[in-house]
A and B are shown apart, each in its own frame.
Chain A
Amino acid sequence: MDANNGPEAETVLRLTGITKRFGPLVANDAISLTLKRGEVIALLGENGAGKTTLMNILFGHYTADEGDIEVFGRTLPPGDPHAALAAGIGMVHQHFTLADQMTVLENIVLGTRPLWSFNLGKSAAREKIRRLAADYGLEVDPDRMITELSVGERQRVEILKALYREARILILDEPTAVLTPMETEALFATLAKLVAAGLSVIFISHKLGEVQSVSDRVVVLRGGKLAGERRTSEATRRELAELMVGGQLPVNEIGPASPGDCLFELKGVSTRSMGGAALKQISMQLRGGEITGLAGISGNGQAALAALISGTLEAIEGDILVHGEKVERWSPGAALERGLGRIPEDRHATGMIGDMSVAENVISEAYRSPRFSRFGFLDWKAAAAFANDIIKAYDVKCPSPEARVRLLSGGNMQKLILGRALDGDPDIILASQPTRGLDVGAVAYVHARLIEARDRGAAVLLISEDLDEIQTLSDRILVIHRGQLSKPSLRGELSVMELGELMAGHGHDEGASHAA
């Protein structure tokens, strides 16, 4: 993609010595970087490395304590969100900012002109969008409603929105997180066209593979500092990973599985929707000593399945069988009684109570047991001891069992949830997006614990939107699409592209719901 970004190419964006402190925390420590015309740089770093803060400063949401931003040779006034837009910087957020009940055209034009003249020049706008779409491979019908669009199409609308406003610098925040492999390919093709037309791109990611295939240069952030900068062509994957982590990468060994009995089974279960797709008569079996991975694009029923198994969503038809026995009343309490360990998708909303202490949180699933209470009175000493056990065993960084959970990092929160869920060695484990938002070290840790649970004979269901994670960990893979399951495939049986096809809904037609 480096058509015209030789050393003589024009510098379009220059950050100099950007420093931002939040109290004692230095989120950005003297970060300098330059972006040239027609160049793609990847901003690589773990969560908390300072990527988001840096972009927020660039966009004027935060004011840097020190440092300057220069766009096309002119200094950007600090703390003014309009300045960045006016200077030609466009951003595509990870979570889209589109109005669902409006058309593509309306969303793109929204905010570029006063409302009273909204209907004027609509056809000119439509024409401009058509032209941009055709030039850059961003096909989408300007007159469709956003609700009718797929996730990939919505992302195209976001990019079109930036281009419509004459953005010359495009920032993409984790753009592939919600895409199928095919959609990712299409996005990369679009980026290539944009760069060829002289735009510059900052591509924020923590996925090394993508970074290597899309960027000219990689800038690695770690702990708020610039950890290194490499030309992509000259850097190895391992080198980048180690720059990102700041040391040796932990490696998990996963041996062959020895599947046992079916411990958990769904038979023809349907549910109502949980925001995404509802489950439609799905059947699945989880066997002991095996990790079953559920792949799929976000919003295809993963949330409903996780809530169903957790006990927070009722089945409207079908049966749940635990250890071969049909369950009459299913609830979070019933799930816990039958020995399920559950790791929820959203740590903050569902997993932990942020304003309560570590000790109060770790006992939340077992506070009524004689271990933690007698005659309705809680034994806070036992709770603190249990919290200390988890803190030690799971290497949780926290000052004390009395600390508010809200103050812990995502990784440490996840470790507490793991400790709570895996206490008492449950033989059925639901892990829903267990590593989302965690740094590489914490991811390896979570994976190791799941493998450990499998190896002692537990049935593990891993729900993840990260195909790499699914492929690494799963002994069997199911793909969910619009609330229905594909036939299971064994480890290594299907390629990424084949899984991608299933994720996009091909091959789901016949016998789709009778998996396992």
Chain B
Amino acid sequence: MRLEPRPASSVAASILWPAGAILATVVFSSLLVMIAGASPLTVFWLVIKGAAGSQFAALETLTRATPLIFTGLAVAVAFRAKLWNIGAEAQLYLGAVMTVVIGTGAVTLPSAGLIPLIMIAAMLTGALALLGPAVLKTKFGVDEVVTTLLLNFIVLLFVSMLLEGPLKDPTGLGWPQSKRVIAEAQLPRLIKGKRLHFGFILAIVSAIVVWVIMKKTTLGYEMRAVGHNAEAARFAGIPVNRVIVKTALLSGGLAALAGFSEVAGLKGNLTLDLSPGYGYTGIVVAMLAMLNPLGVIAAAIFVAGIFVGADAMSRSANVPSYIAEVMVATSLLTMVAAIMLMRYRVRWR
């Protein structure tokens, strides 16, 4: 078996292959659903209803999509420059830590000043978390997959230490959780009484900003050039190492915003279950979006919808909600395969 590059991928192919990937995911999940003893059609209907069938469901999906847009963008930016940032989870938690460090009363300012201050501080923290791996990569050629992945565990233990120590809420009845952020540090809800918050707007704006950076600026150009062919970029005088460091700062900052927005917009405080793996799911989101920043919005909503819908479905159809994770994981695999088949033709023999 051999792969031959295709001369050019047509518009039709770039729609049909991803569509095929989704279809393959549906077929595969159907098999699992049938094994679980339910009818696939009912289950998928319940998933769709659970994700978008009511105002409550739709808002919940968008709420869940918010951190995924941030982590998806973080991954998309980094992967575009072939910086394999697997550490969005760590950067997310560090952003959240900085949010509670500043936002629980250490600084008192009106919202218009405090929120931007926290955002910038959170982004810097996340950026610094990725700076180390980026410098190790550019100076010594240390594989950033390893360093960023392992940093996730280090940071999670570090956060756990903070929550048992300096950041522990004295009124928290001994639970490992931080104090709640003050009112001025909270992001407003978009609709009164509903969970969807201003973080969603920030996420959409971030996606547009990232899209502009990638498309229109010299930095985006440099990042794409380095990602596609670092040797040629270097030959042309593009400062490859500096571009990698800048990419790391941007990526880490975006991931940290996910942590900021979850704490300041939704949860109000920091706990160890702030993120059910949003950093890792961001990789799926970015790949489904084929690294396109605007595509990240759609991909994040899609993935969030599967999770939210599967939760609702499992309550009524008696199929474990794990099916959501299987579907998301399968969609990643089929999408990666589809992207490859879009670019290459398989020759047997």
Question: For the complex, what is the distance from the CA of A260 to the CA of B224, rounded to whole Å?
Answer: 42
- Considering the complex, give the chain A residue whose CB is closest to the CB of B224: A356
CB of B7 within 8 A of CB of A23, answer yes
- Distance (whole angstroms) from the CB of A422 to the closest CB of chain B: 15
Question: For the complex, what is the distance from the CA of A97 to the CA of B228, rounded to whole Å?
Answer: 29
Question: For the complex, what is the distance from the CA of A364 to the CA of B230, rounded to whole Å?
Answer: 12
- Considering the complex, give the chain B residue whose CB is closest to the CB of A363: B221
Question: For the complex, what is the distance from the CA of A333 to the CA of B225, rounded to whole Å?
Answer: 15
- Of A201-209, A347-355, A485-493, the stretch lying at the interface with chain B is A347-355
CB of A364 within 8 A of CB of B218, answer no
Kindly identify which residue among B216, B228, B232, B237 contacts A331, using a CB–CB cutoff of 8 Å.
Answer: B237
CB of B229 within 8 A of CB of A349, answer yes
CB of B236 within 8 A of CB of A364, answer yes
CB of A350 within 8 A of CB of B349, answer no
Q: When each residue 211-229 of chain B gets 1 if its CB lies under 8 Å from chain A and 0 otherwise, what string results? A: 0000011110100110011
Given A79-B349, A354-B228, A356-B225; A373-B218 close (CB under 8 Å): yes
- Considering the complex, give the chain B residue whose CB is closest to the CB of A25: B7
Determine chain B's interface SS by DSSP, over half rule: helix
Given A353-B228, A355-B228, A356-B224; A378-B237 close (CB under 8 Å): no
CB of A376 within 8 A of CB of B232, answer no
Question: For the complex, what is the distance from the CA of A404 to the CA of B5, rounded to whole Å?
Answer: 13
A336 close to B (CB within 8 Å): yes
Which residues on the B side are within 8 Å of A352 (C-beta)?
A: 229, 232
- Distance (whole angstroms) from the CB of A402 to the closest CB of chain B: 12
Kindly identify which residue among B8, B219, B225 contacts A353, using a CB–CB cutoff of 8 Å.
Answer: B225
CB of B228 within 8 A of CB of A378, answer no
Question: For the complex, what is the distance from the CA of A376 to the CA of B246, rounded to whole Å?
Answer: 14
Question: For the complex, what is the distance from the CA of A349 to the CA of B169, rounded to whole Å?
Answer: 56
Q: When each residue 233-258 of chain B gets 1 if its CB lies under 8 Å from chain A and 0 otherwise, what string results? A: 11111110000000000000000000
- Distance (whole angstroms) from the CB of B227 to the closest CB of chain A: 9
- Distance (whole angstroms) from the CB of A217 to the closest CB of chain B: 33
Which residues on the B side are within 8 Å of A335 (C-beta)?
A: 237
Chain B 6-35 residues near chain A, CB threshold 8 A: 7-8
Total number of B residues with any Cβ neighbor in A under 8 Å: 22
B231 close to A (CB within 8 Å): yes
Given A367-B218, A376-B219, A407-B8; A333-B237 close (CB under 8 Å): yes
- Distance (whole angstroms) from the CB of A362 to the closest CB of chain B: 10
Question: For the complex, what is the distance from the CA of A407 to the CA of B232, rounded to whole Å?
Answer: 17
CB of A333 within 8 A of CB of B349, answer no
A344 close to B (CB within 8 Å): yes
Question: For the complex, what is the distance from the CA of A401 to the CA of B276, rounded to whole Å?
Answer: 45
Question: For the complex, what is the distance from the CA of A353 to the CA of B8, rounded to whole Å?
Answer: 16
CB of A378 within 8 A of CB of B239, answer no
Question: For the complex, what is the distance from the CA of A79 to the CA of B221, rounded to whole Å?
Answer: 43
Question: For the complex, what is the distance from the CA of A415 to the CA of B7, rounded to whole Å?
Answer: 20
- Distance (whole angstroms) from the CB of B17 to the closest CB of chain A: 17
Q: When each residue 355-382 of chain A gets 1 if its CB lies under 8 Å from chain B and 0 otherwise, what string results? A: 1100010001101100001001110100
Question: For the complex, what is the distance from the CA of A368 to the CA of B225, rounded to whole Å?
Answer: 14
- Distance (whole angstroms) from the CB of A358 to the closest CB of chain B: 14
Question: For the complex, what is the distance from the CA of A136 to the CA of B5, rounded to whole Å?
Answer: 41
Question: For the complex, what is the distance from the CA of A313 to the CA of B235, rounded to whole Å?
Answer: 10
Question: For the complex, what is the distance from the CA of A125 to the CA of B228, rounded to whole Å?
Answer: 48
CB of A378 within 8 A of CB of B216, answer yes
Question: For the complex, what is the distance from the CA of A353 to the CA of B224, rounded to whole Å?
Answer: 10
CB of B236 within 8 A of CB of A332, answer yes
Which residues on the B side are within 8 Å of A75 (C-beta)?
A: none
Given A349-B229, A353-B228, A356-B225; A332-B237 close (CB under 8 Å): yes
- Distance (whole angstroms) from the CB of A194 to the closest CB of chain B: 32
A107 close to B (CB within 8 Å): no
Which residues on the B side are within 8 Å of A23 (C-beta)?
A: 7
Question: For the complex, what is the distance from the CA of A355 to the CA of B8, rounded to whole Å?
Answer: 11
A32 close to B (CB within 8 Å): no
Which residues on the A side are within 8 Å of B234 (C-beta)?
A: 312, 332
Which residues on the B side are within 8 Å of A353 (C-beta)?
A: 225, 228-229, 232-233
Question: For the complex, what is the distance from the CA of A495 to the CA of B225, rounded to whole Å?
Answer: 45
CB of B218 within 8 A of CB of A312, answer no
Question: For the complex, what is the distance from the CA of A435 to the CA of B200, rounded to whole Å?
Answer: 55
- Distance (whole angstroms) from the CB of B51 to the closest CB of chain A: 35
Which residues on the A side are within 8 Å of B5 (C-beta)?
A: 406
- Considering the complex, give the chain B residue whose CB is closest to the CB of A81: B349
Closest 7 CB pairs of A and B: A364-B236, A333-B237, A332-B237, A353-B229, A355-B228, A350-B235, A353-B228
Q: Which residues does A use to contact B, with CB under 8 Å?
A: 23, 63, 79, 310-312, 331-333, 335-336, 342, 344, 349-356, 360, 364-365, 367-368, 373, 376-378, 380, 404, 406-407
Give 23 pairs: A residue, B residue, CB < 8 Å, sorted on A. A63-B349, A310-B235, A311-B237, A312-B234, A331-B237, A336-B237, A351-B232, A352-B232, A353-B229, A353-B232, A355-B228, A364-B232, A364-B233, A364-B236, A365-B237, A373-B218, A376-B219, A377-B216, A377-B218, A378-B217, A378-B218, A378-B221, A404-B8
